[in-house]
Structure 1
Amino acid sequence: MLRLAYLSLFKPPTPKDCGSPDGLPVTSPRVQLSDGRYLAYKQGGVAKEKAKHNVIIVHDFDSSKDLMLPISEV
């Protein structure tokens, strides 16, 4: 009985989608994955015409796509 009372009083709020009227704003370009989720990304570095290689960096849960990496842009 106590468990039911606790669950009814302390429910976490329902999640809100980014870009929805009551959700967080979309601030980065993103692509929609086949399962409906979104993947945000950030591009940087030299111009596409000058680049010799493409580098994709995947971050873990305690960082973000806005992490500054010491990569040469020469």
Structure 2
Amino acid sequence: MTDWGSVFVASVLFILLTPGMLFQIPGQHRYVEFGNFHTSGVSILVHSILYLAFMCIFLIAIGVHMYIGS
């Protein structure tokens, strides 16, 4: 049995933290903008740091594990 927890967490966080998809920090006109489908270099950097932090929290600190198989 293989551990699919890291794959699941990485996929969900990638979808949720894509700059401009749900929100963008920092936005072009405000600090946080929702659903604008635009991005900038600074927002890519911020979202990458958030992605790394959440991956560390979920995989190392909490230890999410998912075992699929019979």
TM-score, normalized by length of structure 2? 0.22
| Structure of higher CA gyration radius | 1
Structure with greater helix share of residues: 2
TM-score, normalized by length of structure 1? 0.22
Larger RCO (CA within 8 A; separation ≥ 6): 2
